[in-house]
Amino acid sequence: MKTDIHPDYHMITVKMTDGTEFQTRSTYGKEGDTLSLDVDPKSHPAWTGGTRNLIDTGGRIDRFNKRFGGLTLKKD
């Protein structure tokens, strides 16, 4: 391993959105710093099921057909 090219790898504290904390090794900040998360698996819609209301399967198809349904490939 080459010397002086790798970042400092040290212990930090990660604070979740619900206030729970855990310690891990990271290159973030310096030894003993706290990383406060804005989004984590307990609050992100991808893990909590909140993205289901964003999916509009029938509406997208209908909107596409209204815009482009009249287009055809005509051979003369």
For the chain, give every domain's residue range. Answer: 1-49
d(CA 5, CA 28): 16
Q: What is the model's pLDDT at position 57?
A: 60
pLDDT at 45: 74
Whether the model pTM is above 0.85: no
Can you give the pLDDT at residue 31?
95
DSSP track, 9-72:
-EEEEEE-TTS-EEEEEESSSSTT-EEE-SS-TTT-HHHHTGGGGG--HHHHHHHHHHHHTT--
pLDDT in tens, 12-69: 999 998 899 999 999 999 999 999 988 887 777 777 776 555 555 667 778 888 888 8
Task: Check residue 30 and give its pLDDT.
Answer: 93
